[in-house]
Amino acid sequence: MEKKGLGIIFHSGSYDRIHHGFSIALAALALGRETKLFFSYWALEYLKKEGPPKLKLDSEAEEAKEMIEKNRKRGHLQGVDELIPQAKAMGAKFFVCTHSMGILNIARDEFIKEVDKSMGLTTFLTETADYQVMFV
């Protein structure tokens, strides 16, 4: 079975992981693939109305923090707040994890307008059963 759609599960709040996930999503969208993005735990912070969190990096990328901040200021790296509307305009669907929302005490109305709906992981996996699914 050929898998035409792409589902990406975002878990980490680390900028480098979020950015790479969006790079993959945007490439898939550019190739005409349906793309569904599922945000859980610390990745939810990037979809809150109050804006993306202060630059956080995975321990591997922490050494490059200064370089990443420098390149972001120069415009060489887009911020997640720029990638979200770009992905949405290209057709990405955004979903937030209800379980993670409960654990982190985040209400549905705290999210940006680009979020399509909230759902559990089981529902997301059901909706992407014939998709290629990646965990970032």
Count structural domains, the chain.
1
Q: E-strand spans in 53-123?
A: 93-97, 115-119
Residue 111 covered by a domain: yes
Residue 6 covered by a domain: no
- pLDDT bucket at 133, cuts 50 / 70 / 90: very high
Domain that holds residue 38: 11-135
Residue 4 covered by a domain: no
What per-residue confidence (pLDDT) applies to 75? 65
Give dist(CA 85, CA 64) in Å, integer. 26
Q: Which residue in this structure is represented by tokens 């898998």?
A: 3
3-class secondary-structure state, position 124? helix
- The mean pLDDT of the chain is 89
Answer yes or no: are the C-beta atoms of 10 and 37 closer than 8 Å.
yes
Region at 117 (left for phi over 0; alpha for psi -120 to 50; beta for the rest): beta
What per-residue confidence (pLDDT) applies to 41? 96
Name residue 6's beta-bridge partners.
35, 132
- pLDDT bucket at 4, cuts 50 / 70 / 90: confident
Residue 3 covered by a domain: no
Give dist(CA 97, CA 79) in Å, integer. 22
* pLDDT tens profile 62-114: 666 676 667 667 766 678 889 999 999 999 999 999 999 999 999 999 999 99
What per-residue confidence (pLDDT) applies to 130? 94
What is the model's pTM?
0.88
CATH number at residue 49: 3.40.1260.10
Residue 28 covered by a domain: yes
* pLDDT tens profile 13-56: 888 889 899 999 999 999 999 999 999 999 999 999 987 776 67
